[in-house]
Amino acid sequence: MPDKLTDLKIKSLKPETKPYTRSDGTIGGLVVAVSTAGKKVFRLKFVFQGKAQQLTLGAYPAFGLAEAREMALSAKKQLAQGTNPAAAKQAGKAKRRADEATVRSVAGDWLVLKQPEWSQVHLDDTIQKLELHVLPRFGDKPIAEVTKADIKPVLDIR
């Protein structure tokens, strides 16, 4: 069995010509990966539905050994319940991104995307309509919360 990782042992890990990992020694599958540049990242290696996978937990030293062990135990609980912790993490990230996307930010991204296709006159007209009718009403509202009831009054303006 590998030696138990400690903060001192992690600090002493030096970069080598190839990336490498060191096992935690207490929680199966928990490793600290060291890049050739010396960056250290905690990962949990696991098998889900017969397929080897890994979950990146966080970068050292901002993310400590105790936190990594806690997250590894939590991920192992998810595995025991039949949930893929890597997929759950991705779903959580996607939901947070969707929650953070406001009507204003999505409109800005859409305008950047459409700008090469549109004439300057059409672009200016679209920006003016957005600023006059859409953004004052719900520009800072999360896009995921916009409903038909929000949009209908804007479309009925004459």
Report residue 41: phi and psi, to 5°: -135, 135
The domains of the chain are located at 7-82, 101-155
Tokens of 73: 């135990």
Q: What is the pLDDT of residues 106-150, one digit of tens each?
A: 899 899 999 989 999 999 999 999 998 888 988 888 888 888 888
Place of tokens 């098998």: 47
d(CA 123, CA 98): 26
Query: What is the predicted pLDDT for the residue at 2?
Result: 58
Q: What is the CATH number of domain 7-82?
A: 3.30.160.390
Give this prediction's pTM: 0.61
Q: Among residues 38, 24, 148, 144, which one has the least CA distance to residue 95? A: 144
CB contact at 8 A, 2 and 20: no
Position 42 confidence tier, pLDDT thresholds 50, 70, 90: very high
d(CA 7, CA 11): 6
